[in-house]
């Protein structure tokens, strides 16, 4: 039986390159929610025709990163306040479960990874970008240490969708100090095998609940948010 294979044409490769570049810029916040994505401008920027641009935008739209409106064009997708709150609540609960499993399954590899991440955070000092990397290392250590590939994948996927709404994290020394203090408490609970303590420390760390969400919301420009699509549909 003859096997068929997908041939990667130059056009397909160009569309993939554009997709990867735009995805990274959206996730990092370089392209903020609501930013217009004009096909002609993007084609000139990437040195390609509008066809791979259009294909890349359609792929990003399928992942809820871009919204395409007929006869209007494309822009970086906006989430509603309700959607952002729901995603933060979901991440908070899943990260708490992740910390619980990590405490249950703690081993020398996880201990070393947590200690390395904490040291990375200390060395970052008040540098926002350096601390952002240290923060990622810390949480990634817990994702790996929980030994649940499915759970870790779900958290990472949701975090990537939400990242464009967290561009103001760690912009003040106070935020960095508080985050690092939280990390120490989480790490201590996990390394002690204290499942309940790890859950409580992680829930305190993440911006969920009324007070935590209000503080988080104050750091996000309101024009980043769109209408609540659920309520629009219902009415």
- Rounded Cα distance between 185 and 176, Å, is 14
| Topology classification of domain 10-76 | Arc Repressor Mutant, subunit A (1.10.10)
Residue 163: per-residue pLDDT = 87
pLDDT tens sequence across 73-127:
999 999 999 999 999 999 999 999 999 999 999 999 999 999 999 999 999 999 9
Tokens of 35: 């930013």
pLDDT of residue 211: 64
Domain ranges of the chain: 10-76, 81-224
What SS3 state is found at 168?
A: coil
**What is the distance between the alpha carbons of residues 46 and 33, in angstroms, rounded to a whole number?**
21
How far is it, in rounded angstroms, from Cα 205 to Cα 207? 7
pLDDT score recorded for residue 227: 83
The pTM for the full model equals 0.82
CATH code that applies to domain 81-224: 1.20.120.530
* Mean pLDDT for all residues in the chain: 90
Express as a percent the part of the chain with pLDDT over 90: 72
Q: Tell me the average pLDDT across 142-160.
A: 95
Predicted confidence (pLDDT) per residue in 25-52, tens digit? 998 889 999 999 999 999 999 999 999 9
Rounded CA separation 76/37 (Å): 7
Q: Give the pLDDT score at 164.
A: 87
Q: What is the DSSP string of 6-30?
A: ----HHHHHHHHHHHHHHHHHHHTS
């Amino acid at each position: 039986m003859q096997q068929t294979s997908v041939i990667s044409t130059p056009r397909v490769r160009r569309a993939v390159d554009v997709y990867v570049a735009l995805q990274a810029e959206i996730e990092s916040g370089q392209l903020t929610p609501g930013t217009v994505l004009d096909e002609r401008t993007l084609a000139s920027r990437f040195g390609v025709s509008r066809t791979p641009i259009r294909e890349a935008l359609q792929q990003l739209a399928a992942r809820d990163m871009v919204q395409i409106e007929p006869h209007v064009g494309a822009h970086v997708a906006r989430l509603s306040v309700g959607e952002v709150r729901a995603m933060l609540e979901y991440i908070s609960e899943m990260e708490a479960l992740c910390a619980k499993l990590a405490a249950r399954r703690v081993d020398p590899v996880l201990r070393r990874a947590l200690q390395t991440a904490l040291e990375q955070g200390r060395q970052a000092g008040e540098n926002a970008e350096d601390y952002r990397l240290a923060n990622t290392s810390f949480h990634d250590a817990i994702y790996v240490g929980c030994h649940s590939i499915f759970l870790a994948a779900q958290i990472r996927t949701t975090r990537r969708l939400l990242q464009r709404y967290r561009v103001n994290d760690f912009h003040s020394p106070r935020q960095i100090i508080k985050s690092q203090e939280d990390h120490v408490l989480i790490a201590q609970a996990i390394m002690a095998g204290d499942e309940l303590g790890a859950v409580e420390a992680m829930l305190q760390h993440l911006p969920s609940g009324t007070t935590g969400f209000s503080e988080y919301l104050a750091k996000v420009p309101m024009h980043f948010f769109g209408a609540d699509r659920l309520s629009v549909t219902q009415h």
